[in-house]
Each structure stands twice: as structure tokens, then as C-alpha cells.
Amino acid sequence: MYAIVENGGKQYKVEVGQLLHTEKLNAEQGATVTLDKVVMVKTDDGKVLVGKPYLTNVTITGTVVEHARARKVLVGQFIPRKGHKTIKGHRQWYTTVKIEKIEVK
């Protein structure tokens, strides 16, 4: 069984036991979170449920494993013939969630 979940403007395919790296969530480490924006679910018996836009009878619960920062992304600007050059770095926060169960009611 797997599901397609929307979080932080992105869609993720999740299965039970999987570690999901998503946008930072406002939850403490070890807390239980519920992902409610479920777009699609494929059950074990082959049924496919598609939401319009979301499924209301499906709940996905997980546990927050950690909050961390991604690798640094460098952004540069160069203006020729002016002697101007700038480089800035950015590290995005993310949350790792372990998917515990996918429930279809």
C-alpha cells in the first residue's frame, strides 16, 4: 500500500516504514504528526482511490525523527565589465518523518 501526499507545495509517495524528508513542520522531535492532504492511495488489494482534490477518509500518521538542514546551495551574481561579483549561500530546514501507518476508513 502506498499513498501520494502533498506537503509544503510538493507531492511525495509514501509507504509504511519509509523515512520522508519534507518541509519543516512545527512539531517537536518524537511527536506524532498527521498528514491530511492525501491525493491518492493504492491499497493492497489493487484499488486506487483518487481525491478531488484530497481524500477525506484517509489518514497517514508518522513520527518526527529529526529537524535538520540540507546541503548548502550557492547563489551567485556576476556583472561583467563592472567588477561586481557576489556569492550567497542558503541552507533549507527540513523535517524527517517516519511513516507509521496509512489508514483507509
**Domain spans of the chain, in order of start:** 2-104
* Alpha carbon distance 61, 14 (integer Å): 11
pLDDT of residue 103: 95
Predicted structure pTM score = 0.84
pLDDT, tens digit (0-9, with 9 covering 90-100), for 55-104:
999 999 999 999 999 999 999 999 999 999 999 999 999 999 999 999 99
Contact predicate 57/48, CB 8 Å: no
Using pLDDT thresholds of 50, 70 and 90, give the confidence band for residue 15.
very high
CA distances from 79 to 31, 56, 71, 84, 104 (A): 48, 52, 26, 5, 56
CA distances from 19 to 49, 66, 76 (A): 23, 11, 33
pLDDT, tens digit (0-9, with 9 covering 90-100), for 17-50:
999 999 999 999 999 999 999 999 999 999 999 9
